[in-house]
Amino acid sequence: MKISEINIYPIKSLKGISVKSALVEERGLQFDRRWMLTDREGMFLTQREFPKMATIAVAVESGQLKVESDGHGVMNVPFEPDMGERGRVTVWNSVCEAEIYNGQVSEWFSDVLGTNCQLVYMPETSRRGVNPRFNLGDEVVSFADGYPLMVIGEGSLADLNSRLEEPLPMNRFRPNLVVSDIEAFAEDNWQKIRIGEAEFRSTKSCERCVITTVEQSSGEFAGKEPLKTLATYRMAKDIVPDRYEALGVGANAVLFGQNLITETPGATINVGDEIVVLN
């Protein structure tokens, strides 16, 4: 088993970036979901409400992000806002502190999405804890939905695509890591893995939502797949019938991919690195 893709999503729910290597930090991969769009009250925005977010391209350059959207040109965004204004922002059930971009940057995103929003950044001093069910201490996460990383095996997508009339690309599921030479859903059973010099602890399978029905290239909802088909064989009550309540997922949650927590921040992982299952 080897890493075939490494993806980062600097601004939550915007277009991802495929990279050849990545530094592993305690919150996840470097630059991954350290920025986020919120409404003016600090509530997070995603493709669930604004599927067009999938089409906003992001590049990481020296000291800044470059964002681009058709019809709106390019905007350069410094890694941290100049004014240093801070506020409380909400991601699902967690609230943490963030730095707010005022003025031109947030106005650009508001124009693109057609809604009054703001870009925010998670500074090092902001500590958003991992789900307490799986937190072994002071473990933290970025603006990701719940966990620092998510991994999917190519075999799992191949299994799903064999059941669909039209196959779907891996980007529908927005994983950080993709694994080749692996049986379908083998990642479900991992407890701890090593990739190069980095070690990760598994938590639970990822609950999938309506974002998987957004065509990432067009930024439009594309029907009921893959959720319709996944619901026929990947519900929590069928996959983990005796454990879904302990894992904190609903009986009818659709599971696809595995959530990971970083155990060795500071290591670098690369496409082509072998994956070793430790237990």
Percent of the chain with pLDDT over 70: 100
Residue range 267-274: mean pLDDT, rounded = 98
Q: Give residues with Cβ within 8 angstroms of 81, minimum separation 6.
A: 99, 100, 101, 102, 105, 121
Question: What average pLDDT score do residues 168-177 get?
Answer: 98
Among residues 49, 59, 31, 40, the alpha carbon closest in space to that of 102 is found at 40
- Report, as an integer, the average pLDDT of 140-167: 98
Instruction: Determine the pLDDT at residue 84.
Output: 73
DSSP codes of every residue in 65-88: EEEEETTTEEEEEESS-SS--EEE
Quick one: pLDDT at residue 62?
Answer: 87
Q: 41-56, pLDDT tens digit by residue? A: 999 999 999 999 999 9
Tokens of 100: 């707010």
pLDDT at 258 over 90: yes
What pLDDT does 82 receive?
87
Q: For residue 142, name the pLDDT band (cuts at 50, 70, 90).
A: very high
> What pLDDT score was predicted for residue 37?
98
To the nearest 10°, report the CA torsion of 79, 82, 86, 87: -70
pLDDT at 213: 98
Q: pLDDT digit string (tens) for 259-270?
A: 999 999 999 999
Q: Residues 64-98: pLDDT tens digits?
A: 999 999 999 999 999 999 887 999 999 999 999 99
| pLDDT at residue 83, rounded to an integer | 80
Q: Domain 2-8+131-277 maps to which CATH number in 1.10.287, 3.30.1380, 2.40.33, 1.25.40?
A: 2.40.33
Domain ranges of the chain: 2-8+131-277, 29-121
Residue 250 has pLDDT above 90, yes or no: yes
Rounded to whole angstroms, the Cα distance separating 83 from 7 reads: 30
Query: Can you give the pLDDT at residue 215?
Result: 98
Average pLDDT of the chain is: 97
